[in-house]
Amino acid sequence: MMEMLNPPHIGQIVWVNRGRDSGKYAVIIGVVDQRYVWIADGDKRKFDQPKKKNILHLELLPLTSPEVADSIRETGRVTNGKLRFALNKYVEPADEALEKGE
């Protein structure tokens, strides 16, 4: 069994590279086990309808949203607005830099 160096954690930003949502960013809102996580983006994929994803189909980014992690830790849930805010805060600057480079 492959040992995970950085196990996925709640609030972590991921890039989906397989499936219907491929090419999109999302936030981990729950960890099922070593292999599966629940993701949502607050837009197409709401908190109440998260997607269960195999972590092999995700690229775990070295970014964590403390707002999302704290909210889930304290209340057990997070607003869709907060998920969108987290993704815009961390992902938009990176995307804009890529677009300007083209």
Express each pLDDT in 37-68 by its tens digit.
Answer: 999 999 999 999 999 999 999 999 999 999 99
- 64 inside domain: yes
- 87 inside domain: yes
The residue with tokens 């981990």 is: 28
- 1 inside domain: no
Give the domain CATH number at 41. Answer: 2.30.30.140
- 3 inside domain: no
Mean pLDDT over residues 69-75, rounded? 96
pTM of the shown model: 0.86
pLDDT band at residue 5 under the 50/70/90 scheme: low
The answer for residues whose C-beta is within 8 angstroms of residue 95's C-beta and 6 or more apart is none
Number of domains observed in the structure of the chain: 1
For 67, the domain range is 12-101
d(CA 9, CA 16): 15
- 42 inside domain: yes
- 4 inside domain: no
Percent of the chain clearing pLDDT 70 (strictly above): 84
